Amino acid sequence: MKDVLGAIARFGLAIVWLVSGGIKLMDPLASRQAVQAFEIIPRDYLQAVSVGLPALEVILGLLLLFGIFLRPTAIVSGVLMGIFIAAIISVWARGLQIDCGCFGGGGYNPEVGPATYLTEIARDAGFLLLAVIVYWRPFRRLAIAP
């Protein structure tokens, strides 16, 4: 059973990172708008973050997919999910109405409300749980350098 749980967590989180990072890399302008909408990153660093973050997500996805450095990758994934959750809470607390852009798009959205933020936080908490499972029970089969 532990192998099944570890496999689901590892490959599930790999898919999340590959899809979210890949979508953002294909549309750098939308990625920049999404990062800017959070009003957290200083303007001088917007370009670096809007390109670097999706690249990091794809790298994390590939590391998980191929089973390279599973535990360190799980730690970085968990920390990144924690940062994403904190950023969403920050936006909500400041009364901003934005689409997080977690899977592309992003920016101001007048239809966003508390239910949207709760859903995004719950989703990212689920992804954080996947990272914890990968750390706790890494699925080492089919891994290059676990």
For β-strands 98-99 and 107-108, DSSP reports them as antiparallel
For residue 53, tell me if it sits in a domain: yes
For residue 145, tell me if it sits in a domain: no
For residue 87, tell me if it sits in a domain: yes
For residue 144, tell me if it sits in a domain: no
For residue 64, tell me if it sits in a domain: yes
In this prediction, residue 125 carries a pLDDT of 99
Assess whether pLDDT exceeds 70 at residue 2.
no
Dihedrals phi, psi of 85, to nearest 5 degrees = -60, -45
> Rounded distance, CA 121 to CA 126, Å?
9
Tens digits of residue pLDDT in 25-47: 999 999 999 999 999 999 999 99
For residue 143, tell me if it sits in a domain: no
Tokens 């029970």: give the residue: 137
Tens digits of residue pLDDT in 43-84: 999 999 999 999 999 999 999 999 999 999 999 999 999 999
Domain count of the fold of the chain:
1
Global confidence as pTM:
0.93
For residue 142, tell me if it sits in a domain: no
Query: For residue 84, what are the domain limits?
Result: 2-136
For residue 141, tell me if it sits in a domain: no
